[in-house]
Amino acid sequence: EVHLVQSGGGLVQPGGSLRLSCVASGFTFSSYWMSWVRQAPGKGLEWVANIKHDASDQYYVDSVKGRFTISRDNAKNSLFLQMTSLRAEDTAVYYCVKGGWIHELDYWGQGNLVTVSS
């Protein structure tokens, strides 16, 4: 059974940094793309970033380019999102998501709330 267990959310001041982590189990982590998707309070879903199975490619939504970095450690079945220069509009629940064979988002973590506020 696929499990994605997230950690690292919390309250941070504007301009601050935070690192989200996600530990995967139940599948061959090193074979799949992984994504981060976020959801602002009361709003819809927004795809944030993804990373190729071997970390050789990463993509980002324009609003986080240059501020967020997605990475992975296949030896530890772990996915990360390093967030810097955080803004109030980055406040959201962030989900770690596994990609399927044709990149559909097939398994989701429990979500972590990130609140950017002074």
Partner 1 sequence: EIVLTQSPGTLSLSPGERATLSCRASQSVTSNYLAWYQQKPGQAPRLLVYAASSRATGVPDRFSGSGSGTDFTLTISGLEPEDFAVYYCQQYGSTPPWTFGQGTKVEIK
Q: Which spans of this chain sit near partner 1 (rule: CB under 8 A)? A: 37, 44-47, 50, 59-62, 95, 100, 102-111
Question: Residue 103 Cβ, how far from partner 1 at the closest point, in Å?
Answer: 5
**Three-state secondary structure string covering the chain:** CCEEEEECCEEECCCCCEEEEEEEECCCHHHCCEEEEEECCCCCEEEEEEECCCCCCEEECHHHCCCEEEEEEHHHCEEEEEECCCCHHHCEEEEEEEECCCCCEEEECCCEEEEECC
Question: Residue 61 Cβ, how far from partner 1 at the closest point, in Å?
Answer: 5
By beta-carbon proximity to partner 1, the closer residue of 65 and 76 is: 65
Question: Residue 68 Cβ, how far from partner 1 at the closest point, in Å?
Answer: 13
By beta-carbon proximity to partner 1, the closer residue of 16 and 27 is: 27
